[in-house]
Structures are given as C-alpha cells and as structure tokens.
Structure 1
Amino acid sequence: MLEDYKLKMPGAVFGGEHALDKIVELIKNKYKKPAVFTDKGIEAAGILEEPLGLLKESGAQIHLIDEIPSEPTYEQAQKTIDSFKESGSDFIIAIGGGSVMDMAKLSSIAATNDYTVKDLLENPSIGRKTVKTLMIPTTAGTGAEATPNAIVAVPEKELKVGIVNEEMVPDYVILDGRMTAGLPKKIAAATGIDALAHAIECYTSNKANPFSNMFAMEALRLIFANIEKACEDRTALKEKSSMLLAAFYGGVAITASGTTAVHALSYPLGGKYHIPHGVSNAMMLLPVMKFNKEACMSELAQVYDAVEGKEKKNDEEKADWVIGRMSEIIKRLEIPDSLKAYGIGQEDLEELTRSGMEVQRLLVNNKKMVTAQDARNLYMQIM
C-alpha cells in the first residue's frame, strides 16, 4: 500500500431521486450557451428529453454535439473538439456513457489552438482546463464522471490509450438513477462489469491506499448486492441507483489508485478488434484474478469479509469465493467468455501479447509481475 497518497474529486456531486433538477441551479444566470455532448443512441432513446427541457427552463441557448462514436479514435476526438471550439459555448455538459464523457473532458482542456489531442497523447500534462464541465452518466459502469482519464483509440498502434490529466476531473456531477433506467441488459451488464473491474483492481493494486480502498470497497459492496437485478429489471430503480453510485465510487478509486492487468490486457481487444470496453474487461477479469490470487490473497479475503461476511476457514477459501462470485455474475449476465465470437484466434496471439505488454502504465500496478509469457497464457484462456 502506498505511503503517500492523495484524493482529487469533482467539485460538487449531486445524487438522489431528483438530482437532475440541479441543472437549472447550475446553469441559470451563469452560462449562456452550454454545449451538450451526447450520442445518437441516447438521443433516440429519449433520455435527453428531460435534461434538455431543464436547460431550456434555465434560459440557456443549447449547442448539441451528438456525433460522438462509441469507441472514438484520437482523430475523431479532435473533430469533436473542433466542433466545440467553433460553437463558442461557455460550459460543457456530457449526457452519456464513458466515450461521451471522455470527449467532453478532453474538450475542456483542448479548446485551444496551442495543442492537439495527438500532442496530449505524447504529453498529457500540457493540457489546461478552460471550460467547466458537468457530467451526467447514463450508464452505471465507466466511472468517467469521477476520473481525470480520457480513452482514445490509436489506430496505427491498434491500441486504446488513456490520456490522464487532473485538469479533466469534472467540476460537477449529477447521479440520477432514472438516467440509466432505459438501458438494455446487454449494455447495463457490460458497463456494470466494468465498474466491478475498477473496484476489484483498485483494491488489489500496488497503488492501493486508504483513500482508494474506502471507495473501492464500498463500490464492491454495492455491486455484489445489486448488479444482477439492476441489469435484468428495468424497473429496479433502487438497484440501478446503487449501481450508479458504485460506478462513481469506482471512478474515485481509479483517481486515487489505478487499475491493473485486467484493463492493461483488455486495451488491445478494444483497440484492434473493437470489443466493447466492458466486455473485454469482463473477459480478462477472471483469468487475471486467478493469476493474481496468491499475490493478493489477503485483499480478496477482506473483500469476502465485507460483502459476504460468513465464516470461512482460511483466506484462500475466502479468495476463491470472491472469484467464484464474480464468475457467477459474469455467467448470469451472459457476458461473452470467448474471443472466438469476435473472430480472434491463435494467429492473433503474438500481436495481442505485444500490444498488451505495451500498457506498462497499468501493468506496473499489478501485484504479481506480468511477463510476456504470462500475458500470452492469459489470452489463451479466453480463446
């Protein structure tokens, strides 16, 4: 566990049954032309209707940016930022999932002609926030509403890369469970498993600390208790709200600590093969946690004590229960467990391994050192 640590969080977080109503208070008489970042799926699902109505009530002139792809490349991110710059907007509101929020956060630090997204890939620290942001997540998973991270695909490397800059931590967040109510089970499940990965990885990370552990553990309590019903029952607003809170806690844990080999090895699966982020994490979660079990036995036992609490004989049994429970959740939510469904075979193994090993930013957080042969073996388990 780190001896020196810090916590950086959004300036204000609003949660609860009618949290969305805070939009009027945040905008009225303060901002004249907010830009709303979203995507066509959110728009088609009718999720924008209430927040846009509230924005109109505040008297704001809305500029809508709704051409954001689900897995944006850095070139697509730059186009989004250029569109935002041309709009002359004075505030940023993101209504959507991880990609929407990431593009909004990037725009908040790249609305200048001094540098591009490509420059930020090479040196994220040059970014400076010039426009304040409000995040309204519509999925309970990525935790992007709490993090200083923005993920973009780099096609020439066939990899997803995280741009990390504390300036991107949002200024305001609204957590309203109603915004996730219309999610199809498939999307709710993938993003929910993403939140689970964030929490368990941060709790077992080399960079774990008292701040990250507090948020990661509470996220795990909420996820283990609520994820299945939240994904399977569209009317389960209580469970959906709990998952939204868990996802936010997971994002805070990432900010204070960091993810590990699960995310590191999942990045090539998204970058080259365009497997959804939550699905690729779900695929890698069990192989990596089994690989890590010996190195983080006590942490997994602590998770058992917190989320289950029944007497077990030893730490190994507790660790096995936690891994088994994660496996049970993944199977029940019908997450794909094989790369074959995506046309990935043995012939891709060396390239996957090479790309995965490049993500040293996260691999160094893993309690057990991951060699190239280890990475190869982990990929083999899902082929």
Structure 2
Amino acid sequence: MAAQYCLRMPGNVYCGEGALSQLRGILSGYQKAAVFTDKGIEKAGLLDEPVKYMKEAGVDTVILDELPSEPTYAQAQKIIDEFKASGADVIVGIGGGSVLDIAKLSSVAASEEYGVKELLDEPLLGKKKTDTILIPTTAGTGSEATPNSIVAVPEKELKVGIVNPAMIADYVILDGSMIKKLPLPIAAATGIDAMAHAVECYTSNKANPVSNLFAGEAVKLIFHNIEEACLNPEAAAAKNNMLLAAFYAGAAITSSGTTAVHALSYPLGGKYHIAHGISNAILLMPVMRFNKDACLEELSQIYDMTELGERSIRAGDKADKVLRRMEEIIANLKVPVTLEQFHVEEKDLDSLVEAGMQVTRLLDNNKKKVTPQDARKIYREIISGRRKEDD
C-alpha cells in the first residue's frame, strides 16, 4: 500500500434525481457556454433539458458536436481551436468519456503557447483557463472525476493519457435521467469499464486508504446494481447507483490508478479503434487471473465487502468467487470476451506487445510484474479465445 497519497476531487458534485436543474444556479454569472457533446447525444434528445436550463440562466450557448468517439490528438486540437474562437467563458461537457475528456482538455489547452501535441510530452504545461461543468451520459468512464484525458496517437498506434490536476472539473452533475435511454451495448461496456477501474485501483501498487474507500464502495455498488441498471430501462435507483459507482471509481483513479488491464487495452483502441470499455472488458479477466496470486488479500477483501458468501472460506477461494462474479457480469451483459469480431490476428502479436509494454505509467501500478512474454500470452488468449501456454 502506498505510503503517501493524495485525493483530488471536483469542486462541487450534485447527485440524484433532478440534479440537472442545478445547472441554472451554477451558470449564474457566466456569459457564454461552450457545450461539448456529440451527434448521438443530440439525436437522443439529451441536450434538450440542459439547454433549457442554460436559457433560463440567461447564458448564450455554442454547441461543439463534431467529437468522434475515439479522438486523435489532432481531432481534439480541432475542437479546441473551435472553442478558442467561440469566446465562451465556461465549458459544459455532456456525453461519454471521450466528450468529457476533450472538454477537460480544452480547459487547459486553449492557449497560443502550446497545443495538445505538446501536452502529450509535457502534460503539466497546461494551466486551467476556463471553468468546467461535466454531465456524464454513461455510467462507466468516471471521466467527470479524473484529471485525465485520453487521446489516440496514430503514429504510435496507441492511446495516451494526458494527466494534469488542473483538469479536475469545477462542477459535476450526476442525474440518472441522463442514462435512462442508454443502449445496452454502451451501458454494458461503460459499466464494465467502471468495474475495471474499481478493481484495478483496489489492487494497484498505489492503493491507499483513501483510494480504497472509493474503489471499495464502487465495487459494492457495481456488483449489486450493474445488471439491473443495464437491462431494465426503468431501474432509476440502479442507474443512479451506477452513476455514483462510476464517479467513485474515477475518484479512486486520482489517488491510486489503473493497472495492466488499461495498459494493455490502449493499443487495442489506438490501432484497432475498439471502444475503450470493450477493450477493458476483453482484457479484464485474463489480466485478473494473471494477477490473482499477487492480489489474494485484496480480492479476499472485495469478497467480504460485497458479501458474496460465507466469510470463513480460504482467501484463494474468495478470490476465485470474486473473479467468477466478474465473469458472470460480463456474460450476463453479453459483452465480447475475445478479439474475434475485431479482426485481430496472431500476426499482430508483436506490435501489440511492443505498444502495450510502452504504457509503463500503468504497468508500474500492477502488483505482479508484466513481462513482454506475459503480455504476449494475455494477448494470445484474447485473440484465440483459449487459454494456452506461450511457445
């Protein structure tokens, strides 16, 4: 467990049914809001209520809706340039992880002195210039709680995290009405992303009492709510619980950090454009099985706190039951567990291993050292769909 640790949190967090109405008061004193979103959010009608509250607050709006789902750093820069030209004095991010990531990045990158490309190498160059209000429309990424922004770097066939404490949001609104109509595939993938965040943070080398408080609560909420929240459109309480769980898991990231699941998933997004939540869902079980012997204590604690059964059984049995519960969730939500449908083949192993091993920021958090041979075995398992020994 880390000897020193720090928790960073958004300045104000509004939660629960009807929390969206707080937008009126939050926007008091601002002149013009830049609304970061995407076409899918608009088409689903999820902008209607927030824009209504913006009008009631007397704030002009400009809609920036050309955000792709997995943006490159150049695509992020294009949106940031549009934001700079808009003259807006507050940012409102309404969307999933990519939307919120670029909204946060815009708050520190709207400068003539540097751009996103420079922040890839020196993230702390960025200084907060504009307040941010983040409203997630998925219960999973936790982007609303973190100081991270993930962008693809095509020349490296990799996703890269830009991490800067200045990107922590000023305001967050968690309202279950914003995820009520979320399609099952997106709800499931993002929900499992939140599960990965929570479990990885709890088993990270940087885990500490503060991160464990949030990661542990996130795991409990997810284990007991994720299926109902995803499968039942009317499950308002479960959806609000999942929004809270995703936020808690994001808060845990700020104090601890994700591990090899996320590290090895970055090349899948960067090269093959596989959605972040799906990449993590595919890698979650192979990596956690690899990590099990190094994380018996932590997995045993997760078993106890989630009340999965009799506490008097051995730690190894508790760890197995936690892993089985995670597998059960993935199976119940019908999320892919192999790369078969994404046209990734054995011939791609070398490039995947090379790219994955570059993500040392996260690999260093993993309790069990991941060698290139280990990474190859894990990638081979998700390509073939079978567990087998490396050559």
Matched residue, 1:347: 347
Matched residue, 1:370: 370
Matched residue, 1:328: 328
1:21 counterpart letter in structure 2: S
1:309 shift after superposition: 4.9
SS in 2 for 1:163: strand
Matched residue, 1:234: 233
Residues in 2 aligned to 1:237 and 1:157: alpha-carbon distance in whole angstroms: 42
1:299 shift after superposition: 0.2
1:382 counterpart letter in structure 2: I
Identity of aligned residues (%): 61
SS in 2 for 1:335: coil
SS in 2 for 1:190: helix
1:62 counterpart letter in structure 2: T
Cα shift readout 1:246-281 (whole Å, capped 9, x = no counterpart): 000000000010000000000000000011000000
- 1:235-314 residue pairs with structure 2 within 5 A? 235-311=234-310, 312-314=312-314
SS in 1 for 2:204: coil
Matched residue, 2:105: 106
- 1:149-228 residue pairs with structure 2 within 5 A? 149-228=148-227
2:331 counterpart letter in structure 1: K
SS in 2 for 1:294: helix
Residues in 1 aligned to 2:309 and 2:353: alpha-carbon distance in whole angstroms: 39
1:231 shift after superposition: 0.5
Residues in 2 aligned to 1:54 and 1:25: alpha-carbon distance in whole angstroms: 9
TM norm structure 2: 0.97
SS in 2 for 1:191: helix
The runs of 4+ residues in structure 1 deviating greater than 6 Å are none
Aligned-pair Cα RMSD in Å: 0.6
Matched residue, 2:18: 18
1:18 shift after superposition: 1.1
1:118 counterpart letter in structure 2: K
Residues in 1 aligned to 2:8 and 2:309: alpha-carbon distance in whole angstroms: 35
1:44 shift after superposition: 0.2
TM norm structure 1: 0.99
Matched residue, 1:360: 360
1:338 shift after superposition: 1.3
Residues in 2 aligned to 1:321 and 1:313: alpha-carbon distance in whole angstroms: 11
Residues in 2 aligned to 1:78 and 1:187: alpha-carbon distance in whole angstroms: 26
Residues in 1 aligned to 2:191 and 2:313: alpha-carbon distance in whole angstroms: 30
Could you tell me which runs of 5 or more consecutive residues in structure 1 were left unpaired when the two chains were aligned. none
Matched residue, 1:381: 381
Cα shift readout 1:59-84 (whole Å, capped 9, x = no counterpart): 11101101111000000000010000
1:310 shift after superposition: 2.4
Cα shift readout 1:69-118 (whole Å, capped 9, x = no counterpart): 10000000000100000000000000000000001001000111010100
Could you tell me which runs of 5 or more consecutive residues in structure 2 were left unpaired when the two chains were aligned. 384-391
2:173 counterpart letter in structure 1: I
Matched residue, 1:77: 76
